Amino acid sequence: MPRTYPCLSSPYDADYLEAGFDDPYHENPKIPAIFEDYTGWKCGFNAAITERTGSVIFRNFKIADN
């Protein structure tokens, strides 16, 4: 899950609402990982697979015959 500071931990702040934040992990916020303009053809079972995916965007994927 991409973060602003990837080498730092993402501490949970239980009092984030009282502090005026909308994310309990505001000290190391998520940033989107963008995958775009991908063409997958005859890739076997799947052309794109994810597990435990966070802030990820798949844009303009062309996938056929998988």
C-alpha angle 4-23-21 in degrees, rounded to nearest 5: 110
Model confidence at 44, pLDDT cuts 50, 70, 90, reads confident
**What are the Cα distances from residue 35, in Å, to 21, 26, 40, 59?**
28, 24, 13, 6
The yes-or-no verdict on residue 60 having pLDDT over 80 is: yes
Q: What Rg, from alpha-carbon coordinates, does the chain have?
A: 17
Residues 6 or more apart whose Cβ sits within 8 Å of residue 12? 24, 25
Q: Are 7 and 30 in contact (CB under 8 A)?
A: no
6-34: pLDDT as tens digits: 898 888 999 999 999 988 988 998 889 89
The yes-or-no verdict on residue 39 having pLDDT over 80 is: yes
